[in-house]
Amino acid sequence: MLGNVRHLPWLPVIDSHGRRLVGLEEAFTSAHLIDRIDVRAPIERAGVMRFLTSLTALIARTQGVTPATAAIVARDGFDTVAVTDTLDAIDDRLWLIHPETPFLQEGRYRTATTATKTAASIRSTSPGDSSKAWWGRPGDGFATGHLPLVSAPGALAGFWFYSTNGNGKVIIDGSPVGQQGAAAGKKKADGVRLWKIGNSLAETLLLNTPEAWINSQELPAWAQELTGSGSLDPLIEGTITGNATLLLPEWIGGAVVFTGAHVGGVLRRGIPMTTEEHASIVATKAENKTRAAAGASTADLVAIPVAAVDALKESLTYAWQQDPQIVLRGSDPKRKEATSLDKIQALRGMSASTSTLHNLHTWYLRAFNPDVPSHGVLTSEEFGIELFSIEMEQKGPYAELVAASWLSLPAGTLGGTAEAQEALRLFAEYAYEHVQKGLFIAVRDVLTDKEAITSTLANALSSFNFRSEEVVHDVIALAVDGKQFTSAHVDAWVRAAMDAFDDAITPFANSRTVSDIALARQKLFRRINQTESS
């Protein structure tokens, strides 16, 4: 056994000493003195946060933390005895190299038949062995086939919680098992997760650890071997995966380096398909093929037996809905029918490339100002907001990662006082919705080609978002204090809208369009001013 993550310094944190690496034990015993974790790769950071909150649930359970005592723990820190006892109880799951239960890995892959990939292929920032696209660049620490010991825990956490489906298979117990992907590695699950950020790591963890996880009697899925399908405990449901790996270590230059990896479907939430199940399914399909060839109708075909692997596949498709960081849309006052399951997330379309104003529009108008999740055992009226955005595309039966990023919004922007929320809703409506409509009409008054109108409007909105960023942050600062925006702010975003129109329409300016552009510009100025004045 080698590389116990409770002592191995692998977790980057920021505290009074600056940026340094700590093990799990120090991270939790000093959590009230640590500002935050500083994992740089977006998906690995999200995976580490999910892992840390699931471990927080176990420590809080051992310590007996409740909503009534959580604020004291956030201030004074976790009990060192509770931290040690908790880690002792799951110590066999905390070794990066272990004969049976390696950390966030699947030990059964030792007997599985599968192609060996490079170890770094499990990182979202690196390509797969056959991929033509590189997420990393030479020299950034990711563009390498090897995985150092201290880099492995973060990479494993990212892969465990955010891996996508793949076309690889392994043979476990005589049966082929494909890559199912993690619960978040589904096209339906892409979108944004909201994390509350406190003044210390302890506060942040307690703000985001659901009380239901602490009250559970179960261990997280990564800390046990599940042997059945069916209804799930909330802690298991929040930590299951359909994918895992087994890293292959070598001694290179006097140090342990992971050089390869087995990757495949790991049935943490269900019984692996047995040889008998596999044989029964194959036999039934053969029987149905024979019947169909003989002219049998669909009604005469035999039902395919449901194996536990199918229960896992079904559960992983919808498990993301129970993610405690998912924010669900508010109800649309103009529609009575329910929103489809793949559109219930409130924060779709937000990423590092979207402006603050666009994000406010998404939250207040497109998602109808939904409630900020309040599942954490610690509740507070003051917290920062960080959003993790993951975007995927569906490639046949597989989801392909497109982008992932973290972005921050000022404290009070989401989930602040009722006065602040109403002020921001009005701002999002006037400074985005009305300007967007005005720009569309102005562009349409000049251009006739639909594609040109669409692209020009997109350019105009992009320019407006950029030019209005300063006034947006000024209005947010006022709104958080419950104050309304002023006529000076209106003047500022009207100027931004006019300049944005000029930016976008200039490529189309010529002797034939100059008069149309001038008239459209006059109407735009009048339309926005009239709307904002009202």
Taking each helix axis as running N to C, give the angle between helix 201-208 and helix 42-63, from 0 to 180 degrees, rounded to the nearest 10: 80
- Token pair, residue 448, equals 């006739």
How far apart are alpha carbons 440 and 460 in whole angstroms? 9
| Amino acid 76: pLDDT | 98
Q: Number of helices (H) and strands (E) in the chain: give both, helices first.
A: 17, 14
Domain assignment present for residue 361? The answer is no
CA-to-CA separations, 439 to 194, 349, 447, 453, 482, in angstroms, rounded? 31, 21, 12, 10, 29
Q: What is the pLDDT of residues 89-118, one digit of tens each?
A: 999 999 999 999 999 998 888 877 777 888
Under the banding of pLDDT at 50, 70 and 90, the label for residue 233 is confident
| Amino acid 141: pLDDT | 47
Q: Do 513 and 386 share a structural domain?
A: no
Q: Which domain holds residue 455?
A: 418-533
How far apart are alpha carbons 283 and 370 in whole angstroms? 50
Long-range (24+ apart) CB contacts under 8 A made by 73-77 are 73/202, 73/206, 73/378, 74/32, 74/198, 74/200, 74/202, 74/203, 74/206, 74/378, 75/32, 76/32, 77/29, 77/30, 77/31, 77/32, 77/33, 77/202
**Can you give 368-401 as a three-state secondary structure string?**
CCCCCCCCECCCCCCCEEEEEEEEEEEECCEEEE
Domain assignment present for residue 518? The answer is yes
CA-to-CA separations, 239 to 58, 85, 114, 194, 254, in angstroms, rounded? 13, 21, 25, 17, 35
Helix (H) or strand (E) holding 3: strand 2-4
Q: How many residues does the chain have?
A: 534
**Residue 103's closest CA among 53, 156, 56, 28?**
156
Cα(first)–Cα(last) distance of the chain, in Å? 71
Q: Do 199 and 100 share a structural domain?
A: yes
Domain boundary among 409, 438, 465: 409
Beta bridge partners of 97: 2
Q: Do 405 and 492 share a structural domain?
A: no
Q: Do 121 and 197 share a structural domain?
A: yes
Domain assignment present for residue 285? The answer is no
Q: Do 126 and 70 share a structural domain?
A: yes
How far apart are alpha carbons 232 and 311 in whole angstroms? 12
How far apart are alpha carbons 521 and 507 in whole angstroms? 15
| Higher-scoring residue by pLDDT: 299, 25 | 25
Q: Do 148 and 32 share a structural domain?
A: yes
Under the banding of pLDDT at 50, 70 and 90, the label for residue 138 is very low
In whole numbers, what is the pLDDT of the chain averaged over residues? 85
- 135, pLDDT greater than 50: no
Domain assignment present for residue 366? The answer is no
How far apart are alpha carbons 89 and 446 in whole angstroms? 70
Q: Do 230 and 167 share a structural domain?
A: yes
Residues 78/63, Cβ–Cβ less than 8 Å:
yes
* Distance, CA of 113 to chain centre: 31
Q: Do 429 and 322 share a structural domain?
A: no
Q: Do 6 and 77 share a structural domain?
A: yes
Q: What is the pLDDT of residues 335-379, one digit of tens each?
A: 766 566 557 888 888 888 888 888 999 899 888 888 888 889 999
Q: What is the pLDDT of residues 418-469, one digit of tens each?
A: 888 888 998 998 888 889 999 999 999 999 999 999 999 999 999 999 999 9
Domain assignment present for residue 288? The answer is no
- 45, pLDDT greater than 90: yes
Beta bridge partners of 246: 262
Q: Do 186 and 50 share a structural domain?
A: yes
Instruction: Specify the residue for token string 């509770």.
Output: 82
- 268, pLDDT greater than 70: no
Q: What is the pLDDT of residues 176-208, one digit of tens each?
A: 767 777 877 777 788 899 999 999 999 999 999
Q: Do 199 and 88 share a structural domain?
A: yes
Domain assignment present for residue 216? The answer is yes
Instruction: Specify the residue for token string 């909330």.
Output: 234
Q: Do 526 and 403 share a structural domain?
A: no
415 φ, ψ (degrees, to nearest 5): 80, 20
Among 62-76, 391-405, 415-429, the range of highest mean pLDDT: 62-76
Taking each helix axis as running N to C, give the angle between helix 487-505 and helix 450-467, from 0 to 180 degrees, rounded to the nearest 10: 140
Least confident of 134-138, 144-148, 209-213, 265-269: 134-138
| Higher-scoring residue by pLDDT: 411, 201 | 201
| Amino acid 264: pLDDT | 73
Question: How many domains would you assign to the chain?
Answer: 2
Domain assignment present for residue 146? The answer is yes
Residue 397 burial (C-beta neighbours within 10 Å; 0-12, 13-18, 19+): exposed
Domain assignment present for residue 346? The answer is no
How far apart are alpha carbons 59 and 5 in whole angstroms? 16
How far apart are alpha carbons 525 and 497 in whole angstroms? 9
In three-state secondary structure terms, 128 is: coil
Domain boundary among 363, 391, 409: 409
How far apart are alpha carbons 465 and 482 in whole angstroms? 23
Domain boundary among 382, 409, 436: 409
